[in-house]
A and B are shown apart, each in its own frame.
Chain A
Amino acid sequence: MKQEKTILQEVLDRGFSRRDFLKMCTALAATLGLDYSQTNKVVNAMETKKRVPVIWLQMQDCTGCSESFIRSSQPKTESVLLEMISLEYSEVLSAPSGHYAEKSIKDVMEKYKGEYIVVVEGSIPSNDIYLMIAGKSARKELEHVCENAAAVLAYGSCSSWGGVAAAKPNPTGAVPVTDIIKNKPVIVVPGCPPIAEVMTGVIAHYVTFGVLPELDHLGRPKAFYRHRIHDKCNRRAYFDAGLFVENFDDEGSKQGYCLYKVGCKGPTTYNSCAEMRWNGGVSYPIQSGNPCIGCSEKDFWDNGPFFTRVAKIPGTQTTINPDVVGAAVVGATIAGVAAHGALTALDKKKKESKDK
Chain B
Amino acid sequence: MSIPTIPNSNKPNVHHEHIHSKIDLSHRPEASYETVSDSMIKIYVWELPVRIFHWVNALAILLLMVTGIYIGNPFVSASVQEDAYYSMLMGWVRYIHFFSAFVFIANLIFRWYWVFKGNKYATSNPLKRGFWSETFETVKFYALMKNKKPHYVGHNPLAQLAYWIFIGLGSIVLIITGLFLYVEPQPESLFGSAFIWTSLLFGGDSFTVRSLHHLVAWGIMVFIVIHVYLSFREDWLEKNGTMSSIVTGFKTESKHVIEDQHDEEK
A residues sitting closer than 8 Å to B (CB atoms) are 216-218, 226-228, 231, 237-244, 251-252, 255, 260-261, 265, 267-270, 294, 297-299, 303, 309-314, 319, 322-323, 325-327, 329-330, 333-334, 337, 340-341, 343-344, 346-348, 350-352, 354-355
Contact = CB atoms under 8 A, between A and B. Distances in A.
28 contacts: A237-B84, A239-B90, A240-B88, A241-B78, A241-B90, A242-B89, A242-B91, A261-B74, A267-B206, A267-B210, A268-B205, A269-B206, A294-B207, A298-B203, A298-B204, A298-B207, A299-B205, A311-B214, A311-B215, A322-B72, A323-B69, A326-B217, A326-B221, A330-B225, A343-B144, A344-B233, A347-B3, A347-B5
Given A261-B73, A314-B202, A340 B229 contact: yes
Nearest to B197: A217
B260 interface: no
B133 interface: no
Given A218-B204, A298-B205, A340-B229, A243 B78 contact: yes
B167 interface: no
B185 A231 contact: yes
B187 interface: yes
B89 A228 contact: no
A325 to B, nearest CB: 7
Contacts of B86: 241
Nearest to B184: A228
A241 B84 CA distance: 5
B208 A312 contact: yes
A348 to B, nearest CB: 6
Given A217-B196, A333-B225, 9 more contacts: A217-B200, A298-B205, A312-B211, A314-B203, A322-B72, A326-B221, A333-B222, A337-B225, A344-B237
B74 A237 contact: no
Interface in B88-116: 88-91, 93-94
Interface of B: 3-6, 9-11, 69, 72-74, 76-78, 81-82, 84-91, 93-94, 142, 144, 184-185, 187-188, 196-197, 199-200, 202-208, 210-212, 214-215, 217-218, 221-222, 225-226, 229, 233, 237
Contacts of A261: 73-74
Contact of A314 (B93, B208, B218): B208
Given A255-B81, A322-B72, A242 B87 contact: yes
Contacts of B222: 329-330, 333
Given A241-B84, A314-B202, A322 B90 contact: no
A352 B218 contact: no
B206 A243 contact: no
Interface centre among B76, B144, B199, by most chain A C-beta atoms within 10 angstroms, is B144
B87 A326 contact: no
Nearest to B78: A243
A355 B15 CA distance: 13
Contacts of A265: 207
Given A217-B204, A330-B225, A242 B74 contact: yes
Contact of A243 (B11, B77, B229): B77
Contacts of A343: 3, 144
Contacts of A319: 211
Contacts of B207: 265, 268, 294, 297-298, 303, 312
A42 to B, nearest CB: 23
Contact of A241 (B87, B202, B203): B87
Contacts of B4: 347
Contacts of A352: 10
Nearest to B232: A341
A322 B214 CA distance: 6
A352 B144 CA distance: 15
